[in-house]
Structure 1
Amino acid sequence: MALNLGVLIGSTLAFLAFSLCGFIAVALNVERRPYRKRQARIASSDVKPQHRGQAWGRGLSASILTMIAALIIGSASAGLPLGPAADRVTIGGMVLPLVWAGLIIWSLSDPRSRRPIFGMSSAIILSGIFIAIELAA
C-alpha cells in the first residue's frame, strides 16, 4: 500500500513541478507595455461555422467524443503488458488527461470538423479492438 501511494504522490508532484516551471517560464517572458487606449476590436476566430448544426457538431465533438476517446485510449494503454498492474493503471491514468487535452485542441483548431471526428472514431474502434483482444486472452 505504501508503494502505491508513493507512486501516486510522486507522479502528482512531478506534474505539479512541470506545471509550476511552465507557469514561471510564461510569467518571466510576459511583455509589459504602457497602457494606452485603443479602439474596441471585435474578436474574430479563424474558423467560423457556417451553420448552427456545424457549430453544435464541433461542440459535441470537442466535449463528448473527446472524453469517450480519451477514456477508451487510457483503458487500452492500461492493458499494455508493461509490468505490474499498479504501473499499468498509473500509466493509463497519466495518459488520459494528456490525450483528452490533445484531442480537444485538435477538434477545436482543425478548420474541417470531419477530420477530428473520423480520427477519434477510428481511435475508439482500434482501442476497443485492442481491449477486446486483451479480455479474450
Structure 2
Amino acid sequence: MGGLGSLRLAWSRPATKRPVMILAGWTLVAISVAAFGFAIGWETGIPFALAMLPVAALGFVLANREVRPRKEGREREAVIDPSDRKSRWWRGVLRVVLAGPLSGAAAILVGVALAKQLPLSDVDAIAIGGLTVPLLWAGGMAWTLSDDKILRALAALLLVSGASYVAAFVV
C-alpha cells in the first residue's frame, strides 16, 4: 500500500520530487513482493503479491474518486408502448416455455450440429459448439421475450430445432 501510495502521490507532486517518489514507490512494491515470497513461499507468494497489487490500486482509485453532481437529463419525447393486447395467462406461460426450455433446446441442438459438422479437429469443434450454446440461448430468450408475435417465435424455434436435429443426427 505504501508503494502504491507513493506512486499515486508522484502524480500530484511537483516535477522536482516526482522521480524520488516514483523510485520510492517501486522500491516499496518490490520489497512487499519479496516479503510475500519470503513469508508464504516463493512459488505462491510472488504471484499472490502481484495479484494483490491491482486490488490495492483499485482501493486507491475508489478512495480518490470524484463524485460529480448528476446532469439534468433531457425529456424524452415518447415512450415505447407495450403491446395493446390484453394480458392472458397462457401467453405468459407460452413465453416462459419459449424463452427457457425451447430456446435452450434449440441452442443445444445448434451447438451439437456445429460440433458434429465443423471440419475441425474434435476438440476445436466441441469447444466451438459448446461455447456457442450460451450465446444462442441468451439470444433466443431475448428475442422470444421481446417479440410481440408469440407464434412467430414458436415457429422459428421449432424450425431451428428441427434443422439442427437433422444436421446433427441424420446427415
TM-score bracket relative to the smaller structure: 0.5 to 0.7
Asked if structure 1 preserves the Cα contact closer than 8 Å seen for 2:98 and 2:144, the reply is yes
Letter in 2 for 1:131: A
Say which of 115, 119, 130 aligns to 2:156.
119
Say which of 129, 140, 146 aligns to 1:109.
146
Match of 1:9 in 2: none
Asked if structure 1 preserves the Cα contact closer than 8 Å seen for 2:118 and 2:125, the reply is yes
Structure 1 stretches of 5 or more lacking a match? 1-31, 36-43
Say which of 94, 104, 124 aligns to 1:87.
124
1:1-137 map, 5 Å: 33=70, 46-47=82-83, 50-134=87-171
> Relative contact order: is structure 1 or structure 2 higher (C-alpha 8 Å, sep ≥ 6)?
1
User: Normalization by structure 2: what TM-score?
Assistant: 0.51
Show structure 1 runs of 4+ deviating over 6 A. Answer: none
Residues 1:97 and 1:49: Cα distance change in structure 2 (over 3 Å): farther
Corresponding residue pairs, total = 96
Letter in 1 for 2:104: M
Computing the radius of gyration from Cα coordinates, the structure with the larger value is: 2
Deviation at 1:49, TM superposition (A): 5.5
SS at match of 1:79: helix
Deviation string 1:15-54 (CA, Å, 9 cap, x unpaired) is xxxxxxxxxxxxxxxxx7269xxxxxxxx97246621111
Aligned residues with identical type, % of pairs: 25
CA distance in 1 between partners of 2:101 and 2:86 (Å): 19
